[in-house]
Structure 1
């Protein structure tokens, strides 16, 4: 039996909306923070970041759908028990997704930001990945995920209210 929760998407259309909310929030917060830490927090750096955000967003969505989603989907059942609650499931899912995405994006994001493919992200991986993971984890945990779950909950409440009043 699949676990269903009104704070999570329950069909493909809701899944797309959920992904869009999280990815747009994440890319628009995580990328500027990382770029600011890499270079400096300035208007010029922020404007440079805005130029790469559309590319990063496409990369993030593709990585979620093609890499992180399938991988985490295979790993989650090995760790989640039937008695595990919603918060435990969400926390594990977030940790696993952020781990996979932050590893990939610590490399790919560096290439996109630099505008060239080099070995730099591999040379600096042990320096940049933990920082990138921490930034992404906290943004996901306290900003992006709660907003997306709130939207899902409201959508499901509105649907339920329409059914009751009909």
Structure 2
């Protein structure tokens, strides 16, 4: 079976792929959303940096435990057998960002303010549309392409090593 060089081939590569995407995403999406919410300032950025390690752990857990399984079940319902790589990637990004942005629109403010409140639910639709838009474009244009490029380079290096041995 053909393996796509832009995607992970095993669980070790899957971890690297997820780490690249999650680190880029958390370090770009969170500061942008916080800036849009509270204003772009040095103080707000520094406050965001204190929260990022916790958000990164939450994002990785949500990807592995919630978004991954949900998207894995939903994708086959929308995917056609003739759909190409780009269509599948776009659908995967759309579904993952949808699930994660819904959850993180609720969880993020609670982590950021260090208190459980109804505020994220009261402002959900206003916040979610903005959060989804920021996350979708960061994933589509920055995080995912960088991770796929890293996989392609990793697989090319592996292929050169196999050729060198033979």
* TM-score bracket for this pair, using the shorter chain length: over 0.9
> Which residue in the other structure is 1:34 paired with?
33
> Which residue in the other structure is 2:77 paired with?
78
Q: 2:67, 2:89 → 1: CA distance? A: 15
For this pair of structures, how many residues does the alignment match? 165
Q: 1:105, 1:13 → 2: CA distance? A: 26
CA displacement 1:127-151 (0-9 Å, x = unmatched) = 0000000000000000000000000
Q: Relative to 1, partners in 2 of residues 1:58 and 1:132: Cα closer, same or farther, differing over 3 Å?
A: same
Q: 1:139, 1:62 → 2: CA distance? A: 20
Q: 1:126, 1:73 → 2: CA distance? A: 25
Q: 2:82, 2:126 → 1: CA distance? A: 38
SS in 1 for 2:54: helix
Q: 1:20, 1:82 → 2: CA distance? A: 29
> Which residue in the other structure is 2:63 paired with?
64
> Which residue in the other structure is 1:154 paired with?
153
Q: Which runs of 5+ in 1 are unaligned?
A: none
Q: 2:3, 2:116 → 1: CA distance? A: 42
- TM-score, normalised with respect to structure 2: 0.97
The list of structure 1 runs, each at least 4 consecutive aligned residues, that deviate by more than 2 angstroms after superposition, is none
Alpha-carbon distance, 1:4 to partner:
3.2
> Which residue in the other structure is 1:116 paired with?
115
Q: Which runs of 5+ in 2 are unaligned?
A: none
Alpha-carbon distance, 1:161 to partner:
1.2
> Which residue in the other structure is 2:45 paired with?
46
> Which residue in the other structure is 2:23 paired with?
24
SS in 2 for 1:9: coil
> Which residue in the other structure is 1:12 paired with?
11
> Which residue in the other structure is 1:137 paired with?
136
Q: 2:17, 2:118 → 1: CA distance? A: 34
Q: 2:101, 2:92 → 1: CA distance? A: 14
Q: 1:127, 1:161 → 2: CA distance? A: 50
